[in-house]
Structure 1
């Protein structure tokens, strides 16, 4: 029988961040709803299926919080935060087609309901709306950062496609993939808040570094959760990365540490695509025996520590505290 200790520190959450940006997020959500409108009925149907499916809206909250951190007093951060969320949603719609995913955020993926073509085209619509919002803000620097991020994200996805089913992928190559496909949008979302506030280059760089390292930590925790988490935390089926032949950090570590028999198993399952549910169970056992999941989480903690250190340039204030706790929340998902 377990004991409940009433004076234990509460688990990290993003509630501090949510409270910090609550008023601005209400305006962001209103902008998102307004911009998904279209005379083409399928566009709002597909877009709202994903947008209203319970995502935490972490990336737009980071834009709002970084603007708050830097003392921005205008309106542009709301518009850019909505643009950031549209960019993220578009990538999810496209990713589910590429990965042939059935689930997203605990619901059927849009492609399963409306088809691959509709998912890709509505993703394109959302990207178009995102760029229109960037232009409305009137900052060429912010437009450059976010449009550049769109290119880097696409490059990261193509790099992942090229690395799929390739057990010779190195840890450095994999980190380059996740910097592109995941962390770049975190970095850009944070950087534009400081740019809008016209803060010195050192503070703009610190916001970008915070977002980049947080994004890497976030993806590494996701990698670990795919083999060691729950479907509720993932919002998709446990082991989807394994079934799709994705080479992720836990697999790389287990492969490098495995003997010839184990390496042959990984090659058969991931390179040749000959994997069953029984193979998934064996894969999870191997990952644990080679400490691959725990070490992936440890790498995430390293990048989380770097993210929090990037905030040291800023004075102590509620925004800095909220951003630091957001790092702890992302890491706590691994437990």
Structure 2
């Protein structure tokens, strides 16, 4: 089975490795995004998938547009039996979808039809899902609307972060893909249509979404902070200082607690290793913080050189 693999970020690397090691398959080419400027020096940096492919001696194609006539001609010459797509970042044309004998399959980091779209890992936490997972599907023209092939679910804990979940699903994705390839080889797939009426969406994240609104409940703020850790990182203002906050813990406030009448955003308490902020309902305690121009650090280290005043107010 001749496979063309399409992917870009680190998340896709274990899936590429799964295709390379799959018995009876040959990864004849990898398509990925062009090298982009990155870092403080704006140095041209290859995508992680390109690095992984070149390490294995696999030819790499980097078209600006996968729908271009040049890219299509390359695919026709390659004549893949299957195209595997994992976080590629470009939409495939109907002509490409119909090119391989076994079609195009996608590894998506959610339990479809929930959380279709660009950022399912972060939004599974931010939106308060109790479980998420990985779905393989046969690709169609609609956004993540294709028939589902295999799924694996994971429970979301009250402390998991976007970064931790990314790494967990990255590993699970490779396992689910391997099982999907086995089913394709053995003609054992039973595609399941998605119920479009219950679909939810996970839009692309921008930094504005990371602003903390202290009027929201403590549970919602905790989910936002954890989901956007490490990027783009939930932010708030302390006077003129922009602070990124991490490691939240929800603090329940009893009705007879005087803190319940405090304005949302008020710093209720400052301990040796944490500080607590009033939310629209209950409060949130934070254990890690990052100031402009500084590294992320424990609150205990931050307090050695900075002040956080009880009664002061944070503004989103």
TM-score, structure 1 as length reference: 0.29
Q: Report which structure shows greater RCO (CA 8 Å, sep ≥6).
A: 1
**Greater percentage in strand:** 2
TM-score, structure 2 as length reference: 0.31
